[in-house]
Amino acid sequence: MADAKTQIDEMVKSQDVVLFMKGTKAMPQCGFSSKVAGVLNYMGVEFKDVNVLADDGIRQGIKEYSDWPTIPQLYVKGEFVGGCDIITEMTLSGELDTMLAENGVSFDKDAAEKIREANA
C-alpha cells in the first residue's frame, strides 16, 4: 500500500485540484461522483480526475490516505476538502468559492451564484 500512498501523494501535490471519483469527469460512474464533478465542471474549475475503479490500490489507498471512508474525495492544493455532502454544503454556502479564491484556483463566480440561486 506504500506504493499507492506515494502515487496518491504525488497526485494531490502536483495538481491544484484533484477529484478521486468513480469514473471520469466526462463519464462519472456513481451519482455522488457525478454531482461533485458536475459542480466543478459547471463552475469551470480545472481539475484532475482520478478514476478509482481503474486501480484497486488507489481505491483502497485513498481511503487510508485521507482517513475518509467514501468516494468521491476532493483535494485542493494538496489538502483534503471532503466528499459529496461536504462539497455540496460548501458550494451552497459560498465556502467553496472562498476556498478556491484563497488558493488561487480560478472559477466562474456567476456559475457558482447560479447554483446557489437554483437551490435557494
Q: C-alpha 65: how far from its chain's center?
A: 15
Domain total of the chain: 1
Q: Which CATH number does the domain housing residue 103 bear?
A: 3.40.30.10
Q: Which residues sit in the known binding site? A: 30
Grid cell for residue 96: 467553496
pLDDT in tens, 17-46: 999 999 999 999 999 999 999 999 999 999
Average pLDDT over residues 69-98: 97
Average pLDDT over residues 48-73: 96
Q: Which amino acid is at 31?
A: G
Q: Can you give the pTM of this predicted structure?
A: 0.95
Domain span at residue 13 reads: 2-118
Output the known binding site for [2Fe-2S] cluster: 30
Closest CA to 92 of 73, 74, 75, 114: 114
φ, ψ (nearest 5 deg) of residue 100: -65, -45
What is the average pLDDT across 73-77?
98
- Measured distance CA(26)–CA(11) in Å, rounded: 19
